[in-house]
Amino acid sequence: MAKNKRPAMSPAETEVLRLVWQCQEATVQQVYDALPPTRKVAYVTVATLLRRLEEKGYLRHRVNGKAFVYTPAAKKEDVIRRTISDLVERLFGGNPVPLMQHLAQHSGMTDEDIERLKELAKKK
C-alpha cells in the first residue's frame, strides 16, 4: 500500500479543488467564475492556486487552445477522507463521535438517533 503523502492543502486551495471537482475539469476562467460571490479574488490568484495544487499533486493539466484544463490527479474520495481525518485528529484527538454528535445536533436529530449513530460508530 503506497503511502502517497501529498503535501496538505491550504484552505484556499481546498476550495479551489472543490470547484474543479464540481466542474469535473476546469480552466482557470471556469474556476474563477464558479467562485462564490462572497469570495471574489483576482483571476491570477486562482491561476496561482491551481498551479500550486498541481505542484502538490492534487491536479494535473492538459492544454486546450491557449488555456490549461485542470483535472483531478488524486481520488476525490481519498482527499476527502484525509482532510476529514486530519480535522478529527486535531479537533477531537481522533475520535469521530463528537463530530457526528455535532452534526446531529445541528440537523434536528433526536437523542435516539444520536445513540444509534454512536453504536454504529463503535462497531468500527
Partner DNA sequence: TGACATATATGACAGATGTCATAGATTAGG
Partner DNA sequence: CCTAATCTATGACATCTGTCATATATGTCA
Interface residue list for a second copy (CB under 8 A) = 8, 11, 14-15, 18, 22, 36, 80-81, 83-84, 86-87, 89-93, 96, 98-100, 102-104, 106-109, 113, 116-117, 120-121, 123-124
Amino acid at 31: V
Binding pattern to DNA, positions 66-85, x when CB under 7 A?
Answer: xxx-----------------
Distance of alpha carbon 73 from alpha carbon 84, whole angstroms: 19
Instruction: Answer whether 59's CB lies under 8 Å from 16's CB.
Output: no
Applying CB under 7 A, among 17, 19, 20, 49 the residue interacting with DNA is: 49
Minimum CB separation from a second copy for residue 115, in Å? Answer: 13
Which of 48, 72, 97, 114: binder of DNA (CB under 7 A)? 48
The type of residue at 42 is: A
Specify the long-range contacts of residues 50-56, CB closer than 8 Å, at least 24 apart. 50/16, 50/20, 52/13, 53/9, 53/13, 53/16, 53/17, 53/20, 56/6, 56/7, 56/9, 56/13
Rule CB under 7 A: is residue 11 a binding residue for DNA? yes
Q: Which residues contact DNA by CB under 7 A?
A: 7-13, 27-29, 41-45, 47-49, 51-52, 65-68
